[in-house]
């Protein structure tokens, strides 16, 4: 076992784009939305304005598909100066329903990794987003039984993780987080003296991107895939 992880007793996993595909569906939805509103503005401008609206709405709606849909509706009204048709609003709602009804597509090696690690460590799921949607995806995934605890966080900042670890009586030095987002799954853990492994996904939401300055001096490992985590822990 790598000496970096010799004291690890509990491993936390992110869900979206770590265990299953998620961000890809948002990119597809953004393209559909831009096409619906293309008579009012350029595709690039629509994309930029929708992102701004999502960020503005995060304190109100939080993360997830439902907040995303509300932001699309608001953006449609603004871009059209309240002239958008009811048919277009219905089409936006349909985009959201399509997203919520997507099958859960597990990433390569997920079940093998969880099965292997669950025999040696206590596993927890620590994700963020809409509670109902995350529960739905977890049930569809067939992965529930691998996790000792499941937590849907409002956000993934240092305070959120500290509260979770305190609640579960887990020492930061004994906790390892695995996820695709440096901003949400890695840096907050390093800052509270826990451990983290970054497993990048091919698509990252702009809001989750970090610059090199934010990662300077931070110690964490990066694995090309979830399966590549196993050698690091053996």
User: What is the rounded distance in angstroms from the CA atom of residue 58 to the CA atom of residue 35?
Assistant: 24
pLDDT exceeds 50 at position 1: no
Q: Does domain 23-100 have CATH number 1.10.150.240?
A: yes
pTM: 0.88
Residue 162 near residue 193 (C-beta atoms within 8 A): no
Q: What is the mean pLDDT of the chain?
A: 91
User: What is the rounded distance in angstroms from the CA atom of residue 123 to the CA atom of residue 147?
Assistant: 5
User: What is the rounded distance in angstroms from the CA atom of residue 11 to the CA atom of residue 189?
Assistant: 12
Rg (CA), the chain: 19
User: What is the rounded distance in angstroms from the CA atom of residue 150 to the CA atom of residue 138?
Assistant: 10
First to last CA, the chain: 4
pLDDT exceeds 90 at position 4: no
User: What is the rounded distance in angstroms from the CA atom of residue 91 to the CA atom of residue 32?
Assistant: 9
Compute φ and ψ for 12, nearest 5 degrees.
Answer: -105, 140
* Closest to 200 in 3D by CA, of 177, 176, 223: 223
Residue 47 near residue 71 (C-beta atoms within 8 A): no
Domain pair 3-20+105-232 / 23-100, same fold? no
pLDDT at 193: 94
Would you give the DSSP letter of residue 227? G
Architecture of domain 3-20+105-232: 3-Layer(aba) Sandwich (3.40)
**3 or 94: which leads in pLDDT:** 94
**205 or 161: which leads in pLDDT:** 161
pLDDT exceeds 90 at position 10: yes
User: What is the rounded distance in angstroms from the CA atom of residue 59 to the CA atom of residue 49?
Assistant: 17
Domain boundaries, the chain: 3-20+105-232, 23-100
The residue-averaged pLDDT of 158-172 equals 95
* Residues whose CB falls within 8 Å of the CB of residue 2, separated by 6 or more in sequence, listed in order: 232, 233
pLDDT at 209: 59
* Closest to 100 in 3D by CA, of 139, 64, 141, 150: 64
Q: How does residue 210 score in pLDDT terms, banded at 50, 70 and 90?
A: low
Q: Strand 10-13's sheet: what is its strand order?
A: 149-153, 122-128, 10-13, 175-179, 195-198, 221-222
Task: Point out the least confidently predicted range of 3-7, 65-69, 144-148, 222-226.
Answer: 3-7
CA atoms within 13 A on the CB side of 142: 8
The residue-averaged pLDDT of 192-210 equals 76
């Amino acid at each position: 076992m790598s000496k970096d992880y010799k004291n690890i007793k509990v491993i936390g996993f992110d869900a979206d784009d770590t265990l299953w595909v998620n961000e890809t569906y948002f990119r597809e939805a953004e393209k559909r939305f831009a096409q619906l509103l293309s008579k009012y503005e350029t595709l690039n401008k629509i994309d930029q304005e929708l992102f701004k609206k999502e960020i503005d709405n995060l304190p109100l709606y939080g993360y997830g598909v439902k907040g995303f849909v509300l932001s699309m509706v608001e953006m449609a009204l603004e871009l059209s100066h309240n002239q958008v048709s009811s048919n277009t609003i219905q089409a936006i709602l349909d985009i959201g329903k399509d997203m919520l009804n997507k099958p859960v597509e597990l990433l390569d090696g997920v079940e093998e990794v969880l099965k292997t690690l669950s025999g040696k460590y206590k596993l927890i799921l620590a994700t963020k987003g809409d509670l109902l949607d995350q529960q739905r995806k977890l049930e569809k995934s067939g992965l529930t039984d691998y996790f000792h605890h499941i937590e849907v966080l409002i956000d993934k900042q240092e305070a959120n993780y500290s509260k979770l670890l305190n609640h579960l009586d887990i020492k930061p030095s004994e906790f390892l987080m695995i996820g695709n987002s440096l901003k949400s799954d890695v840096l907050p853990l390093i800052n509270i003296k826990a451990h983290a492994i970054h497993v990048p996904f091919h698509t990252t939401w702009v809001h989750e991107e970090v610059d090199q300055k934010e990662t300077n001096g931070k110690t964490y490992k990066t694995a090309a895939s979830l399966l590549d985590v196993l050698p690091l822990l053996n």
